[in-house]
Amino acid sequence: MQTDQARGERAIRVLIADNTRIHTQLLADALKRDTGLEVISSDTDSRAVLAAADLHKADVLLISSTLDEEPNRGLAVLRELCATRPELRAVILLDSSKDEVVLNAFRAGARGVFRRHESVETLRKCVRCVHQGQIWANSEEMSLALKALAAAPTVHAVNANGRALLSKREQEVVESLAEGLTNQEIAERLGLSQHTVKNYLFRVFDKLGVSNRIELLFMTLSQQNNQQSADNPSKTATPHASWDFTSRGECEKLAAEGAPVAQLALAQKAGSRNPIVAYTWYLIVSEQIAKARKEMHREMTPEQIVEAERRAAEWLGKSKKRAPSPAGQVVTRLAASAGASAAAD
């Protein structure tokens, strides 16, 4: 096979950060046999990986899901790298074959996932495919990702007459927000500036009658009946948004599988008509939030934790200055429950 250098092409610069120094060196030595790859070894410390990625301007990053002897720490490092270098293409070296780890790898920004039992030759092919802009995953992993994508709710904001209130770009911003992306991540996904994303969000707030991101997220959980507006034409039409679950059964299935969005939807649907059911789902989702909070805490740097706590304190301080909306009350209650659960652990 003709090498990249023989064809006059620049070698692909590959940065390797496996879970131990010896594994990193062994993998680097194996890949260096391919003259079309310029291989760089990194220390396994997460800070060293961040510094090496910035210093060497690698084309492809091979990074273990476990760094600093912490499972999923490599995913947190990848998320941070993707925020500063969105052009970087990464492959996660899986230390676990659990479905959750595979999905989290793609959510962190990986372009490929590689299992340890595969050969070095297969890894070389993986590097080249990812460098060319392709996704590296087997059929099982792709099916898993597609299933998760299909289960993700889609937000549809319409008025009482069924007309769309949001432009296509505003809809994209809201859907990205619903996935939990920050303004910076939304900007990178859509090719916009952070300032433009903020302007889109402000326009969405005005159109939907909400005052902040949290209220917007909870508004998307409300299930309003269009027929009610038709039966009461004199009632002032108000915009609404809903998660596009095809049926209550699907919502219940997703809730049983642990999807917080579906659990909140069922809690809000039960409401005051069935407070025991509603409160049961609120308790369940608060436990989910507490668990997710602890997992995120393990993956984040101290600086990131301090910044997140600052933003939360700022939002909570603002919310106290006005009468809390029903959504705000739910958020405060869940946040308090999650915080108490995490403190107990």
**Residue 329 amino acid letter:** Q
176: CATH: 1.10.10.10
- What's the pLDDT band for 215 if we cut at 50, 70, 90? low
Q: Give yes or no: residues 236 and 337 share one domain.
A: no
Count the domains in the chain: 3
* Domain coverage including residue 235: 152-244
Q: Give yes or no: residues 237 and 272 share one domain.
A: no
Query: Alpha helix (H) ranges present in the chain?
Result: 21-31, 46-56, 73-84, 99-108, 120-131, 139-151, 168-178, 183-190, 194-208, 213-219, 226-231, 248-256, 260-270, 275-299, 302-319, 326-344
Q: Are 199 and 241 in contact (CB under 8 A)?
A: no
What are the tens digits of pLDDT across the range 55-101? 888 999 999 999 988 888 898 888 888 877 878 899 999 988 788 88
- What's the pLDDT band for 217 if we cut at 50, 70, 90? low
Classify residue 105: in a domain, yes or no.
yes
- Looking at the predicted structure, is the pLDDT value of residue 269 above 80? no
Q: Give yes or no: residues 35 and 123 share one domain.
A: yes
Does the reported pTM lie above 0.85?
no
Query: Cα 286 to the chain's mean position, in Å?
Result: 19
- Looking at the predicted structure, is the pLDDT value of residue 5 above 60? no
- Looking at the predicted structure, is the pLDDT value of residue 156 above 70? no
Classify residue 6: in a domain, yes or no.
no
Half-sphere exposure of 179 (CA within 13 A, CB side): 21
Q: Give yes or no: residues 46 and 71 share one domain.
A: yes
